[in-house]
């Protein structure tokens, strides 16, 4: 719980000579959290309590979320400090990696992972899954681009009519509006990454190399980038924590991991046991600082089992200020 972590937060602030904000989104199956626009007012409250300061450290663990929310968060934090660093205890993927690109320095533990920032689009016009009828399939910008590149480069198709037919066939499977949105989103992510990387004091050639790799050359959105690759291959400004700092980072992660039950596999039948009705309260994300306290995203409600079917009655699903 938050009170158990305050002393750890104080030690990190003293060691880094900074003000610390902790942001964690759950990746527990069934109760995932993600980076979204609703965090911005909450971060503003924490930052207002901290006030203008020389340096802010963001401790972040996340699977990702909205890229525009990540962009806005970096700009918001940087408006309160001169130096912005990110501390990555373990996973900081997708939109989380975009946040890292906007930091002056990224502190990565030995198990820390970054990931590609190639976007996917979810919407009502997306193709429908043949396995789960009624469920739209996310459309990956890089998957669409790779399909077209295979036709042109790998298969050597150059005839304009043949290429037009390939595009027409694709548009029959993926709505033309979705195709347009996907490529607009792809261009936007690349633009955001370039702008954020300026804070790392890199040469233009390095910036383009990083953007190209994170947006397309990594090959898959599931690809993970460890500390060594982030520093030596990509050229990001990566710092390795000393043993004492590593232990502080790990203790915070272990405590939050326990609170959010990140390592506990979810099984609704085990949760209900022999009961036909049972209330639940699950924590899916948190934002914390010493100055402002703890905000937690909570899902509350009741599971009801009747005639072999389990339904969910959701009473609350949103942020709460706990301390």
- What are the tens digits of pLDDT across the range 104-149? 999 999 999 999 987 776 767 767 777 777 777 777 766 777 677 7
> Is the pLDDT assigned to residue 80 strictly greater than 90?
yes
* Angstrom distance (rounded) from CA 193 to CA 297: 28
Half-sphere exposure of 60 (CA within 13 A, CB side): 31
Mean pLDDT of 261-288: 92
- Note the pLDDT of residue 7: 97
pLDDT in tens, 16-37: 999 999 999 999 988 899 999 9
> Is the pLDDT assigned to residue 204 strictly greater than 90?
no
Query: How sure is the predictor about 180, in pLDDT bands with cuts at 50, 70 and 90?
Result: confident
The neighbouring-strand residues paired with 24 are 61, 286
pTM for the whole structure: 0.89
Please state which architecture CATH assigns to domain 2-115+224-266+282-295.
Alpha-Beta Complex (3.90)
pLDDT in tens, 213-222: 998 776 666 7
- Note the pLDDT of residue 251: 97
Two tokens, residue 296: 């937690």
Half-sphere exposure of 221 (CA within 13 A, CB side): 15
Least confident of 98-112, 168-182, 242-256: 168-182
pLDDT in tens, 153-173: 777 777 787 777 777 777 777
- For the chain, residues classed under CATH 3.90.226 are 2-115+224-266+282-295
* Angstrom distance (rounded) from CA 64 to CA 115: 9
- Any idea what the Cα angle at residue 267 is, between residues 266 and 269, rounded to 5°? 155
**276 vs 175, higher pLDDT:** 276
* Angstrom distance (rounded) from CA 251 to CA 5: 9
> Is the pLDDT assigned to residue 237 strictly greater than 70?
yes
> Is the pLDDT assigned to residue 286 strictly greater than 90?
yes
Mean pLDDT of 252-267: 94
Mean pLDDT of 259-288: 92
> Is the pLDDT assigned to residue 195 strictly greater than 80?
yes
pLDDT in tens, 36-66: 999 999 999 999 999 999 999 999 999 999 9
């Amino acid at each position: 719980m938050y009170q158990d972590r305050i002393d750890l937060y104080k030690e990190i602030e003293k060691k880094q000579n900074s003000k610390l904000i902790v942001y964690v989104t759950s990746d527990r199956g069934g109760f995932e959290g993600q980076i979204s626009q609703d965090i911005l007012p909450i971060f503003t409250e924490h930052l207002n309590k901290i006030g203008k300061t020389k340096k802010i450290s963001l401790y972040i663990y996340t699977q990702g979320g909205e890229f525009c929310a990540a962009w806005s968060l970096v700009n918001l934090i940087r408006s309160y400090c001169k130096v912005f660093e990110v501390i990555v205890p373990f996973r900081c993927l997708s939109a989380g990696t975009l946040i890292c690109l906007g930091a002056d320095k990224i502190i990565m533990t030995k198990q820390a992972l970054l990931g590609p920032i190639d976007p996917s689009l979810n919407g009502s016009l997306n193709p429908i899954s043949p396995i789960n009828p009624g469920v739209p399939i996310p459309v990956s910008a890089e998957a669409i681009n790779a399909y077209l590149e295979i036709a042109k480069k790998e298969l050597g198709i150059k005839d304009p009519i043949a290429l037009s037919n390939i595009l027409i066939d694709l548009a029959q499977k993926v709505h033309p509006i979705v195709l347009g949105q996907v490529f607009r989103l792809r261009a936007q992510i690349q633009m955001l990454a370039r702008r954020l990387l300026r804070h790392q004091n890199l040469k233009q050639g390095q910036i383009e190399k990083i953007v190209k790799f994170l947006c397309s050359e990594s090959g898959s959105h599931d690809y993970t980038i460890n500390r060594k690759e982030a520093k030596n291959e990509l050229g990001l400004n990566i710092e390795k924590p000393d043993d004492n700092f590593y232990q502080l980072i790990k203790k915070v992660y272990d405590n939050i991991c326990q609170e959010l039950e990140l390592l506990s596999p979810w099984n609704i039948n085990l949760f209900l046991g022999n009961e036909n009705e049972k209330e639940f309260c699950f924590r899916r994300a948190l934002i914390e600082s010493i100055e402002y306290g703890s905000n937690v995203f909570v899902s509350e409600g009741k599971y009801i089992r009747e005639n072999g079917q389990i339904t969910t009655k959701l009473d609350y699903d949103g942020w709460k200020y706990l301390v």
